[in-house]
Amino acid sequence: MPTSRRAVLATALAGTLALPAIRSPRAAGPVTLRAVMQGDLRSFDPVWTTANISAYYGAMVYDTLFGVDDQYKPQPQMVDQWSLSDDKKIYTFHLRDGLAWQDNTPVTAADCVASIRRWAVRNSGGQAIMARAADLSAKDDRTIVLRMKEPFGLVLTALATCTTPICFIMPKKDAETDPFQQVSGRIGSGPFTFNQGQTQPGSRYVFDKWDKYVPRKDKASGLAGGKVVYLDQVIWENIADQQTAAAALNAGEIDFYELPPLDLLPQIQSNPDIKLQVMNPTGYVGEARMNCLHPPFDKVKARLAMLYLIDQKAILNATFGDPKYYHPSPSIFGYGTPMSNDANTAWFKQAPDPAKAKQLFQESGYKGEKVIVLQATDFAFMNNSAQLIAGWLQGIGVNAELAAMNWGEVITRRASMNPDDQGGWDIFVTYGGGFDFSNPITLIALAANGKKGWFGWPEDAEYEALRTQWAEAATEVEQKSIAEKMQARAWDFGLMAMLGSWTQPAAMRKTVDGFLTNPDVVPFWNVTRT
Binder to another protein among 128, 274, 372, 390 (CB under 8 A)? 390
User: What part of residues 281-320 is at the interface with another protein (CB under 8 A)?
Assistant: 313-315, 317-318
Specify the 3-state DSSP secondary structure of 99: coil
- Number of Cβ within 10 Å of residue 61's Cβ equals 24
- Scanning 194-202, 287-295, 434-442, 483-491 for contacts with another protein by CB under 8 A, the matching segment is 194-202
Using CB under 8 A as the binding rule, whether residue 244 contacts another protein is answered as: yes
User: What part of residues 352-381 is at the interface with another protein (CB under 8 A)?
Assistant: 375, 377-378
User: What part of residues 128-187 is at the interface with another protein (CB under 8 A)?
Assistant: 180-182, 184
| Contact partners, residue 365, CB within 8 Å, separation at least 6 | 299
DSSP 25-38: SS-SSS-EEEEE-S
Using CB under 8 A as the binding rule, whether residue 92 contacts another protein is answered as: no
- E strand segments, 103-167: 133-140, 143-148
| Contact partners, residue 510, CB within 8 Å, separation at least 6 | 273, 274, 275
Min separation Cβ 406 and another protein, Å? 6
Using CB under 8 A as the binding rule, whether residue 48 contacts another protein is answered as: yes
Binder to another protein among 98, 261, 338, 419 (CB under 8 A)? 261
Min separation Cβ 254 and another protein, Å? 9
Binder to another protein among 33, 46, 49, 340 (CB under 8 A)? 49
DSSP 339-402: T---TT-HHHHH-S-HHHHHHHHHHTT-----EEEEEETTSHHHHHHHHHHHHHHHHTT--EEE
Min separation Cβ 408 and another protein, Å? 5
- Scanning 208-216, 262-270, 279-287, 358-366 for contacts with another protein by CB under 8 A, the matching segment is 262-270
Please give the radius of gyration of the chain, using alpha carbons only, rounded to the nearest integer.
Answer: 25
Using CB under 8 A as the binding rule, whether residue 11 contacts another protein is answered as: yes
User: What part of residues 396-435 is at the interface with another protein (CB under 8 A)?
Assistant: 402, 404-406, 408-409, 411-412, 415
Residue 404 to residue 108: CA distance in whole angstroms: 48
Using CB under 8 A as the binding rule, whether residue 43 contacts another protein is answered as: yes
Min separation Cβ 200 and another protein, Å? 5
Binder to another protein among 106, 201, 281, 397 (CB under 8 A)? 201
Q: Is 21 exposed, middle or buried (0-12, 13-18, 19+ CB in 10 A)?
A: exposed
- Scanning 38-46, 83-91, 130-138, 281-289 for contacts with another protein by CB under 8 A, the matching segment is 38-46
Min separation Cβ 274 and another protein, Å? 14
Cβ proximity to another protein: between 155 and 268 the closer is 268
User: Is the distance from CB of 186 to CB of 203 less than 8 angstroms?
Assistant: no
DSSP 70-92: TTS-EEESSEEEEEE-TTS-EEE
In this structure, what are the phi and psi dihedrals at residue 212, rounded to the nearest 5 degrees?
-85, 5
